[in-house]
Amino acid sequence: MSGTAPFFVRSAMPADIAVIKNLLHESWQATYGPTYGEEKIRNISQLWHTQPRLLAQLDTPHSEFVVADDGTSIGGMGYAVMVGESDAHLKQLYVAPHLKGRGIGSQLLVETEGAFPQAKRVILEVEPENAQAIAFYESHGYSPYGRSEGDGGEFDMPALKMAKPLDGWDL
């Protein structure tokens, strides 16, 4: 039965992209739908979570694109990329809503953090109203360091910026 076996983290593959796309849409609807409405989330998903865009992430230099797999289904995904000489930017970390609380997000986070031995810190942005995600990141050593009030563009979403120093580095 899907979802009962333990999940393991592995590199994402082209064959995973359709499932990842659906997982992202489901996660965004569950997490952000109540705040932004279904239409806005659908529009964002149609722009940001396309198969060509996700496939391009697989080939991005200096990046890590992973999934949590139990042998029959994908329960989460993570994507990070090195920016500059010292920062790894965690751009995506999502777990299927029905699987939250099982440690999948922690597994994905540990894997993405460890993929950048040259990084001095990991940075990320989280929606300021997403208390569950903020608590998750804080429990893993992340601290807020700033805010963005959105870019004024079509989706104009604010963000809380968070960072975590890696192994011996001080921020």
Distance CA 129, CA 32 (A): 9
What CATH number corresponds to the domain at position 105? 3.40.630.30
Neighbour-count burial of 16, counting CB atoms closer than 10 A to its CB (0-12 exposed, 13-18 middle, 19+ buried): buried
pTM to 2 decimal places: 0.89
| Residue 44 pLDDT exceeds 50 | yes
164 is a domain residue: no
- Residue type at position 165: P
Measured distance CA(155)–CA(20) in Å, rounded: 22
pLDDT class of 155 with cuts at 50, 70, 90: low
Range of the domain at 26: 8-120
3-class secondary structure, 164: strand
Would you give the distance in Å from CA 83 to the centre of its chain? Answer: 16
Domain count, the chain: 1
**Quick check: 171 pLDDT over 50?**
no
Residue in 113, 103, 158, 112 with CA at minimum distance from that of residue 136: 103
pLDDT of residue 154: 53
